[in-house]
Amino acid sequence: MTPALAWNGLIRLFNAPLLPLGSQTITLGSLLGVGLLLLVVTLAARLLRFLLAKRLLLWLGLPEGRREAIGTLLAIGLAAFGYVAVAQGMGLDFGALAVLFGALGVGLGFGLQDLTRNLSSGLTLLMEGKLKVGDLIEFEGTQGFIREISFRSTVIRTFQGSEIVLPNALITNTLVHNLSYLSSQGRVDLAVRVMHGTDPLLVTEALLAVALEEPRVLDDPAPKVVLHQIGREGLEFELWVWTAEIQNQLLLRSAMNYAIHRALKRRGIHLLGEKQVLQLLPEAGPGAPLAFDLDEQLAAIPCFANMDARRLRELVGSGARRRLTAGQMLVEKGDPGRALHLVLEGRISAIHETERISHRLFSFGPGEFFGELPLLLQVPYPTAMWVQEDAVLFEIPSGNVRLLLENRPDFAEIVLQALARRGDVLRSYESCLRERGLLREGDLGNPLQWLRGRLRRVLEPRVGGSFQSTQN
């Protein structure tokens, strides 16, 4: 067979009519041409979706969910338009097929209800952006990170390493906790139950001490201890702590439970159901229980002597005692302020260090406090704070200091007046304050008035400038 005959035979094969369709006849060649056109339309739709979601809309700064939704919708629109154009090019009569498609549509509508709901729910999730890829969510008791959101389903990766595929309609119709919607901060609640007869203030102090020693616990919002219930069997407390990495809450909870158990044991506090053991020899050293009740120690300090019992209890519940040994470095130069430190016993010195010398500037003894300036002025420590003698401090984290200053003008005035009398402390911050534009010439001529003005500016974002100092 010659090549010409073979070519003519191949042409006749592709042009041979297979079946009539509308005004045209379907041939093998037309089927191959339509298939090629449909493939081109499909590839063009996918390319459009990729360019929109990964390039153009990314450059415009749209969130991932909306980029995917817009890209997918436009790709579907392009594909539908292309498929219709190809069908019309084949000469299909859509009017004649309308009845057939209508009958099929009714049947498919009943059979594909769930698929339709999932598609519409997926579109809602992608467009709203309330749930995004990477969010930590809790769904029906299961926690995990969203790994993928498609039009039909959402994939969640659990902490155990498995993937859960959830229909989108189930997510939109069920309560979902988004633990990282605005930020990754979150609160961890720890329940502690102790025996009747235990001093609640002692338990409160022990729990707050554990929270203040844990670096993963935030100072603002500050830790909080709540006496949840006085039950038939004992006292039920809850320790509320905030962390910047809520996804690691299980590790934080474990570490704090160990520390709570150790802190309660050192103070002779028995958990509910714990077997009591008589201890004849008292403990000694840094972990030993403190000898005096905290409210009694605070009441003995002149600046707190006029506080009634209720306000003293509030002050006790805002912080915890900390025992330090001589020679320990409490704060390095340049560290940010994390707490207000009230000296109950011993002495803390402010040290100015250079490459050649280390010079002691001033010190704080029993009844004096420090750390208020870094908190009020939001500046770092200009000096190092060194434990000159074995000391016991009462530490109030920054979040609770702010609350006390907002809600207790008398406490704010105590802090300001005590600070105004310490000219040596103010002078140590002078150069730092001038560099930041917080101090002008003549401001320290009336330090109390200047400190009151700075305190109002610090509290204005939280209380709208409504703070009023108590004038003496």
- Tens of pLDDT, residues 153-207: 888 888 888 888 988 888 888 888 888 777 788 889 999 999 988 888 889 989 9
* β-strand pairing of 234-243 with 186-195: antiparallel
- What integer is the mean pLDDT of 225-237? 89
Greatest CA separation for the chain = 119
Which pLDDT score is estimated for 274? Answer: 61
pLDDT at 280 over 50: no
Find, among 412, 408, 231, 209, the residue nearest to 317 by Cα. Answer: 209
> Is pLDDT of 438 > 90?
no
Q: Which pLDDT score, from 0 to 100, does residue 471 have?
A: 39
Q: Greater confidence, 49 or 363? A: 363
Sequence-distant (6+) residues with CB within 8 A of 414 are: 303, 304
**In the predicted structure, residue 464 carries a pLDDT above the cut 50:** no
All domains of the chain, ordered by start, with CATH? Answer: 25-92+99-122 (1.10.287), 129-178 (2.30.30.60), 186-266 (3.30.70.100), 294-462 (2.60.120.10)
* pLDDT exceeds 60 at position 468: no
Burial class (CB in 10 A: 0-12, 13-18, 19+), 405: buried
pLDDT at residue 40 tops 90: no
Query: 434: which residues sit within 8 A by CB, 6+ positions away?
Result: none
- pLDDT computed for residue 343 by the predictor: 92
Whole-structure pTM value: 0.57
Residue 401 pLDDT? 84
Structure tokens at 174: 């069920």
Q: Which residue would you say has higher pLDDT here, 355 or 373?
A: 373
- Per-residue pLDDT of 291-345, as tens digits, reads 457 777 888 887 777 777 777 777 888 888 888 999 999 999 888 888 889 999 9
Amino acid, single-letter form, for residue 322: R
More confident residue, 462 or 169: 169
Q: What is the pLDDT of residues 75-121, one digit of tens each?
A: 878 888 887 777 776 665 555 555 555 655 555 555 567 777 777 78
d(CA 336, CA 338): 6
Residue 388 · residue 346 · CB < 8 Å: yes
